[in-house]
Structure formats: structure tokens, C-alpha cells
A and B are shown apart, each in its own frame.
Chain A
Amino acid sequence: MKTVLFRSYIRGVAVALAVVTAACGGGTATDEGAAVQAAGATIQINGAGATFPYPIYSKWFDEYHKQHETIEINYQSIGSGGGIRQMSNETVFFGATDGPMTDEQLKAAPGPILHLPMVLGADVPVYNLPGVADLRFTGPLLADIFLGKVKKWNDPAIAAVNAGVTLPTTDITVVHRSDGSGTTYIWADYLAKVSPEWKDRVGVSTAVNWPEGVGGKGNEGVAGLVSQTPGSVGYVELIYAVQNKMAFGAVQNVNGEFVKATTESVTAAAAAVANNMPADFRVSITNAAGPGAYPVSSFTWLLLYEAPKDTARSKAMVDFVKWALTDGQQLSSQLGYAPLPAALVAQELTALERVKTQ
């Protein structure tokens, strides 16, 4: 009796081990560049990446599918870091990111990747000061606030740029992002340019070691915390501030103008840089010089392999990008994104020639 039971237990363990190892070993990623679809059949393209451009990408994919019934593009907004990772692992055909890939990441990828700016975004400093409208900030002032050096709203540094505004004596509560995000990247990038101390102490990344403040999850978390906490200041994407009717301040640009973020001022920031654009489009446009340019603006990029194996998908994707850069830009402003300046679009269409489509 005992030996029979013992033997059956051993058999049970062996079966369990076999089941577990089979489950582990069988999970290989499906090859995204699978056999080319027969002409006329639906082409499905998968992409993943940043959450910021998700609304406009969604709209574009939908509109494009209505015009080209055979092409279906799917996008998962898992975050810029995830998009870069999945691109490098070739589990998706295209990626999207708010912060450009670093040189190490590009080297680690299996092939050369093209960065294509698709729309513009901007971070705005939102604050909760009942009775105070239209605050103005300078870059170094924002850096000092987020570094924790300026602690009260009636600090002389704030009063100096806001003549005539009665500032309360409340403490400043800094609100930042708790999750890694392109929005943080843009903000940190700008602060690093206007404050050497920020650059040294904190640095630039999608997630940083914040010297001060509480963290909210997502743009909506920061917006929620700022609207609930009197005397708080935070940063959110322009679209969030506009749609939630939050008060946000004007920021001084390199030319000395105090500019409030609008689709025009953000496009002006890109136009200023369009003349000196590097060939790979990996440029930061924060603190851009130029009349009416909003200093905390940024591109969001689409990532495409220059020499993909699947040429049918590549051709479909390139056609889509051409459409998005031209006809698609009209849809951007409806959703609150700033459209790209024409000079830049021309440069990108030239760069698209590099992508292998057959």
C-alpha cells in the first residue's frame, strides 16, 4: 500500500514538473515580421509606446482605416520606456516615445531606428491659489520651487515677476509625477537647461529623484492633487490643464517674453528649431529661442526601423506616416495637440525615403 502511494506521488510530481517546464519553455515571442500578406489581404500592424500621444494616434489610426480598409494599426499605450523596449525586442512593428532613445539604446537595437516627430506637446505649471489668476514664472524660479529652495508663495523671487499680484503667505506644496513619464522628461529637461543646480542634483530622465514634493500617478493624478491641495504647484500636459479648466502660469522664454502655452506658441517653439534640426530628429526643443515660443514644449516621436524585414508592413506604415504628417495634422489641433511646422514636415518626408519599403 505504502509503496503504491509513494510511486503514484512520484508520478504526480513528475507530471507537475513536466507541465510547468512545458509552459515555461513554450512561451517564445511570435515573430512580428511574419510571412508577407497576400496582396489585398488585411495588413495588421502593432505598435506600443507613450501615453501622451495616445488620443491623437487613436484618432489617426481610426481615420486612416476608414480611408484604407485593408490596413489595421493597433497601438498599446504602455509608456515610452515600454515602447522603446518592445521596439528593441522586435515584438512590435513601431514604437512611440516622448523622450528620444539614448545612444546606448540605439546601439542595443538590432537595426537602425528612425525617430519621426509626429505632434507637439507642452507642460504647463498648474497651481492652486484661489483668487490669484495669471501667475508668471521664470525658468530659474520654477527650478528653485521644484528644488525646494523657494518655500512660500509670497517669496520675493515670485513677487519680483508678478508685480501687482497679491501673493498669500501659504507654503508651496510641490506636486510631481510618481510614475515615470515623458511629461516628467520634458519638465526635467527644461529645468536642467535653465538651472545648473537642477542639472547637477537631479538630472533628466522619465523618472527622477525629486528633492521635494508629493507624487501623483499620471497626469490625472497630478491634476487631482493640485486641484485638491491649496497652495500647490505641479506640471501637467497642456491638454489636461485646458480640459480640466485649471489655472496655469506663463513661463518666460529665452527672449524674455512671458508666454502662456497655446497650440500656436508651442508650434512656434518647433519652428524656431526647425532650421537647425539634426538629421535624426532627436532634438529637445525646450527653452527654444524665437518670438512667441513656449519654452516647455517637446516633440513626441514615432520609432520605425529603417530596414525592416517585413516590407509590406513597412510600406503600409510609411504611407500612414506620410498621411499623418500632412492631412493628419489638421486633426491634431482639434484634440489640443500643436501641429508640426511645415518646414519640419518637409524634412521628415525626405527622411522617410530612407525606410526600406520593398
Chain B
Amino acid sequence: MRRDLGFRVGTGLFGVLLILIVAAIGFELARQSMLSVQKFGLGFWTSSTWDPVAGEFGALPFIWGTLYSSVLALAIATPIAIGIAVFITELCPPWLRQPLVFLTELLAAIPSIVYGLWGIFVLVPAVRWFQTSLPDSLRALPIFTGPPLGVGMLAATLILAVMVVPFTSSVTREVLKSVPMAQREGAYALGATRFEAIAAALFYARTGIIGAVMLGFGRALGETMAVTMVIGNNPQVSASLFAPQYTMAAVLANEFTEAADQLYLHALTEIGLVLFIITLVVNGLSRLLIWSMASSSKPARVPAAALPAAAEA
């Protein structure tokens, strides 16, 4: 009884510590960005100027770059990751399963600076070649304009997609494994094809899959080194995939050590605060989405009372 209590208190302590740490991070970020918050107020979120010499700072290009690259990376990575997970759990021959799992996990273990180097030497020339081989009619569209630099939003998006895939796919795999066989058997019993049975399993596991996607999104939002090496580091708001742009994590990594005056430092810390708030909001929304999906339509359950009757009949 006493040990039980001690266990409860101990783990409760860890839980509370976690909340305190997150609160402390938020509090410290806010405190260290006071100068910038007081000077720019909400205009910080909407201004596009980033001029350390004149002391004018605005976070809009960074917010845009972060969200654009992350959402696009997610759009590319999610179908691939779910596809990998579905293949490994449902369609894969048993001898191939372990090697595939190992290789997917290996992608997650590669340090992000290595991704950055691979990006500079392999991905950037590939994007440059792709851009020059696009027909002129396509290159006139606002999403494809720009000189063939190679570095830019597309290269960053592709690298982020590659980095996000292992996270999303491994969690999706676990979630799919935990779908009870009864669901699939029920689907087959009703005459479903292979694909429809898989779709039924995916539908059952949808809240877990959303959680996996959000995990990947969190990784994409915060990724620093790989992105800063291939995104071009130019603070501009542009819809073009080929334009060099900037993200919040990248500007923090690049400019923090050399920021000598207080306002500059506080402006950079405020960018950290903005990133923190955006991450919290995104995670909060995803939690809300999961909760609403889970409570709106509960998965079908066979009432326990009916089972023995079915067995007898």
C-alpha cells in the first residue's frame, strides 16, 4: 500500500515536472523578448522587414516559410508514410518485414546535418535540373517562378518530407498493428476486397494516424540544420517553390551567436516565442481534432451479452 502510494507520488511528480518545464520555457521566452514585444507589439507578426542595422524586425517571412515548408512536407510525406506502414503491416512478405522496418528507422537516426550535406550536394543540383527542364509555360506560373538556383522552398520541403516519413510511418505501423483482427475479419465477412479491408482498418485507426501525422508536423516545424543549408536563407514571403526563403528555426540558428545588441537578441528570442506558440497551437488543434473524432463516432462494439447467444446459434 505504501509502495503503491510512493509510486503514485513519484510518477505524479514527473508529470507535474513536465508541466512546470513547459511553463518555464514559455515564461523565459516571454521574459527575454520583452524589449522586442514592447517595441513592435503585434506588428511583429505581420511585418516583413528584418533589418538588424536599422533595428527593424518582423517575423512574417519566417512564419510563412516555416508553415509553407512544413505543410507541404507533410502533404508529401503523409501518403508515403502511411503507404509504408500499410505495406509493412498488411501486404509485405514476412522475410522483407524486418529489413524494411530497420531501414525506415535508420532514416530517423541520420543526423540532420548529414541530411543538409546530402541536400547541398545531391538534392540542390537535382532541383536545379528539374527547374531548368520545366517548360516555360509552367515556369511562368507564380508557384514555379524564379531563377534556377536549386536552393529554395522545394529543396527544403523535400528534405523535410524525407525526415518526417520515418516518424509518421513507425507510429502508424504501431497503430495499425493494434487494430483488432475482428475489424478486418468483419470487413472480409461482409465481402470486402483486400483494399477495402485495409481501408476499414485505417478508418478504425484514424485517431492514431492523425497523432502520427501531427508528430511528423512537429518535427518539420522545428527542423533547423537540414533546412538552413538548402532553403536559401532569404527572408521573403513568396509563393514560388523555387524562391529562396527562411524559417524561424533557421534564422535562430544562424543569427543568435552574433547578435550583439539587446533589441536584436530580444527580437530573435521573440521569434523563438512565436515558434513555441505556433507549435502549441498546432498540437492543441490536433488534440482537439483527435478528441472530436474519437467522441463523435465510436467504433462498433459487439455487446458482451450477445456473444454467447451468437456462439450457441
Contacts and interface: CB of A to CB of B under 8 A. Distances in A.
Contacts of B249: none
Contacts of A80: 258, 260
Interface stretch (A113-121, A220-228, A331-339, A340-348): A220-228
A5 B4 CA distance: 11
A225 B264 CA distance: 27
Contact of B233 (A5, A202, A204, A217): A217
A225 to B, nearest CB: 7
Nearest to B235: A209
Given A178-B254, A180-B254, A215-B233, A208 B147 contact: no
Given A8-B8, A216-B233, A81 B258 contact: yes
Interface string B103-142: 0000000000000000011001100100000000000000
A225 B151 contact: yes
Interface stretch (B16-24, B170-178, B183-191, B197-205): B16-24
B13 A16 contact: yes
B51 interface: yes
Nearest to B243: A214
B258 A181 contact: yes
Contact of A105 (B12, B21, B150, B260): B260
A279 interface: no
Does more than half of chain B's interface fall in helix, strand or loop, or is it mixed?
Answer: helix
B234 to A, nearest CB: 6
Interface residues on chain B, size class: 35 or more
Given A208-B52, A209-B50, A225-B151, A215 B232 contact: yes
A13 interface: yes
Given A204-B53, A228-B150, A4 B5 contact: yes
B39 to A, nearest CB: 17
B302 interface: no
A20 B260 contact: no
Contact of A82 (B128, B254, B258): B258
Contacts of B13: 12, 15-16
A210 B244 CA distance: 13
A16 B254 contact: no
A203 B232 contact: no
A217 B258 contact: no
A144 interface: no
A348 to B, nearest CB: 24
A85 B259 CA distance: 9
B306 interface: no
Given A79-B257, A105-B260, A173-B149, A213 B53 contact: no
Given A15-B13, A16-B16, A229-B150, A81 B52 contact: no
B52 A207 contact: yes
A205 interface: yes
Contacts of B12: 8-9, 12
B139 to A, nearest CB: 14
B82 to A, nearest CB: 34
A17 interface: yes
B53 A208 contact: yes
B91 interface: no
Contact of A215 (B121, B254, B258, B261): B254
Contacts of A85: 260
A280 interface: no
Interface string A1-43: 0001100110111011101100010000000000000000000
A4 B12 CA distance: 14
A209 B233 contact: no
Given A17-B20, A81-B260, A209-B50, A179 B9 contact: no
B254 A228 contact: no
A255 B177 CA distance: 76
Interface string A303-327: 0000000000000000000000000
A178 B228 contact: yes
A180 B234 contact: no
A197 to B, nearest CB: 14
B258 A206 contact: yes
B238 interface: no
Contacts of A84: 260
Given A179-B254, A180-B255, A9 B9 contact: yes
B159 to A, nearest CB: 15
B258 A209 contact: no
B238 to A, nearest CB: 13
A8 B12 CA distance: 9
Contact of B125 (A214, A215, A228): A228
B313 interface: no
A203 B54 CA distance: 8
Interface in A161-205: 171, 173, 178-181, 202-205
Interface string B245-262: 000001001110111110
A175 to B, nearest CB: 9
B50 to A, nearest CB: 6
Report, nearest first, the 8 A-B pairs whose CB atoms are least far apart. A180-B258, A215-B233, A203-B53, A178-B233, A81-B260, A79-B257, A209-B51, A81-B258
26 contacts: A8-B8, A16-B13, A16-B17, A20-B21, A20-B24, A78-B257, A80-B258, A80-B260, A84-B260, A105-B260, A173-B147, A178-B228, A178-B255, A180-B259, A181-B258, A207-B264, A208-B51, A209-B53, A214-B232, A214-B234, A214-B244, A217-B229, A217-B233, A217-B254, A228-B121, A228-B124
Interface of B: 5, 8-10, 12-13, 16-17, 20-21, 24, 49-54, 120-121, 124-125, 128, 147, 149-151, 228-229, 232-234, 244, 250, 253-255, 257-261, 264
Interface of A: 4-5, 8-9, 11-13, 15-17, 19-20, 24, 78-82, 84-85, 104-105, 171, 173, 178-181, 202-210, 213-217, 221, 224-225, 228-229
Given A8-B8, A12-B13, A173-B149, 17 more contacts: A5-B8, A12-B9, A20-B17, A20-B21, A79-B257, A82-B258, A84-B260, A104-B261, A105-B260, A173-B147, A179-B255, A180-B52, A180-B259, A203-B54, A205-B53, A207-B258, A229-B151
